[in-house]
């Protein structure tokens, strides 16, 4: 299978909701979480506020379709190291 890893396009930011939901761990035999769980602040903050300075996202694309993503950000747009 051929794939491409690339930066997310601004027009794809809405897809972060789907990727966040799909990333939730569900124990075998348990029912899936309601979709509304991604509106919980612990998840929603990473979706609704995405796009600030310091945010980044890489998308996995197969046959022209985004199939996965990884994203995060740095406070104030700065990478800070600790010694």
Query: What digits encode the pLDDT tens for the residues 30-74?
Result: 999 999 999 998 888 888 888 888 899 999 999 999 999 999 887
Q: Find residue 73's DSSP bridge partners.
A: 55
The pTM of this model reads 0.78
Domain spans in the chain, listed from the N-terminal domain onward: 4-77
Can you tell me the distance from the alpha carbon of 76 to that of 78, in angstroms, rounded to the nearest whole number? 5
End-to-end alpha carbon distance in the chain:
41
Nearest CA to 47 among 11, 10, 16, 8?
Answer: 16
Place of tokens 């348990």: 30
């Amino acid at each position: 299978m051929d794939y491409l890893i690339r930066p997310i396009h601004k027009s794809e930011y809405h897809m972060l909701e789907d990727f966040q939901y799909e990333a939730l761990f569900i124990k075998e035999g348990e029912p899936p979480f309601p979709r509304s769980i991604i509106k919980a602040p612990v998840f929603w903050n990473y979706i609704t506020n995405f796009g600030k300075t310091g945010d980044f996202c890489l998308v996995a694309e197969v046959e022209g379709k985004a199939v996965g993503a990884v994203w995060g950000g740095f406070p104030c747009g700065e990478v800070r190291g600790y010694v």
